[in-house]
């Protein structure tokens, strides 16, 4: 934990979110906020509603009740494209990478929102460079340079041209993080980024998450099952259980919360 970093004002405010699928309540009256530059964890047992909450934030699900305010703008209904355009990126618990494409191409896909040149300009790029680089080529070079910086940052230079399907699982998770970072988000939603990893891979991912938060200033909302990881890297933690909020505060406050202890089968770890 970096105790010297400056936590800013509220950037994301979730108010009274309720979500149901038929007669099943996934979330009931959930409220919490996220401050700029913090690492905000969402924890809870399986089925607690954590991924459903992320899906509401990034527009995959539309809650029946409540609102989400991002940078002072309040929304009741917003789609994933709008959320991404506002600067919110997401990784997924089950990897959603293009397995047949290279690491570089997967991460270039994360730049799509930033591409300004139109289809005509891209379709009729000058292949011979007679008049120098056209606008589309210049733009592609700039996007590629940005992606290469992310590749260097994540220490995956050796795999940049490797098809993602050929990479070990831990490296695929790193590519997933890289594709989200390629969007240059102000808020990054991480859905169990350490799931299925061994100890060394978890340590690497923890380091990258903290470095993203520290060096890029990215605000991070993190779902994670490993309580040790959560307590080590989070500034604040919100705890869900059966779709309801049962705790919210610093790692120390949450660790001592009787309701949280009870939800985790009588242990505080």
Q: What is the pLDDT of residue 45?
A: 87
92-112 per-position pLDDT tens digit: 877 778 888 999 999 888 777
Q: What is the pLDDT of residue 142?
A: 79
177: its two tokens:
């993080």
Place of tokens 């790692």: 251
143: its two tokens:
């996007």
Q: pTM for the complete prediction? A: 0.85
Q: What is the pLDDT of residue 99?
A: 86
Domains of the chain: 1-87+185-269 (3.40.50.300), 100-183 (no CATH)
DSSP bridge pairs for 220: 39, 188
Q: What is the pLDDT of residue 119?
A: 41
Which pairing describes strands 39-43 and 88-90: parallel, antiparallel, or unpaired? unpaired
For the chain, which residues score pLDDT lower than 70?
Answer: 1-4, 113-136, 139, 265-269
In degrees rounded to 5, what are phi and psi of residue 60? -70, -40
Q: What is the pLDDT of residue 120?
A: 41
Q: What is the pLDDT of residue 131?
A: 47
């Amino acid at each position: 934990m970096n105790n010297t970093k400056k936590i800013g004002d509220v950037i994301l405010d979730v108010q009274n979110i309720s979500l149901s699928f038929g007669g099943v309540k996934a979330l009931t009256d959930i409220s919490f906020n996220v401050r700029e530059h913090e690492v905000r964890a969402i924890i809870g047992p399986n089925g607690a509603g954590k991924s459903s909450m992320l899906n509401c934030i990034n527009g995959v699900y539309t809650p029946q009740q409540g609102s989400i305010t991002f940078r002072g703008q309040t929304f009741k209904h917003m789609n994933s494209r709008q959320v991404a355009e506002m600067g919110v990126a997401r990784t997924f618990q089950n990897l959603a990478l293009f397995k047949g494409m290279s690491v570089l191409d997967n991460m270039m896909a994360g730049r799509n929102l930033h591409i300004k040149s139109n289809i005509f300009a891209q379709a009729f790029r000058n292949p011979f460079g007679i008049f120098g680089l056209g606008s589309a080529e210049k733009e592609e070079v700039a996007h590629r340079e940005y992606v290469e910086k992310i590749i260097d940052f994540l220490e995956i230079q050796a795999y940049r041209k490797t098809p993602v399907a050929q990479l070990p699982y831990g490296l695929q998770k790193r590519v997933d993080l890289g594709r989200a970072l390629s969007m240059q988000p102000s808020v990054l939603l991480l859905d169990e980024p350490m799931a299925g990893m061994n100890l060394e891979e978890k340590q690497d991912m923890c380091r990258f998450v903290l470095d993203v938060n520290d060096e890029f200033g990215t605000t991070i909302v993190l779902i994670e099952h490993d309580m040790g990881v959560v307590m080590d890297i989070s500034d604040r933690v919100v705890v869900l259980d059966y779709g309801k909020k049962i705790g919210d505060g610093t790692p120390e406050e949450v660790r001592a919360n009787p309701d949280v202890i009870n939800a985790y089968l009588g242990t505080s770890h």
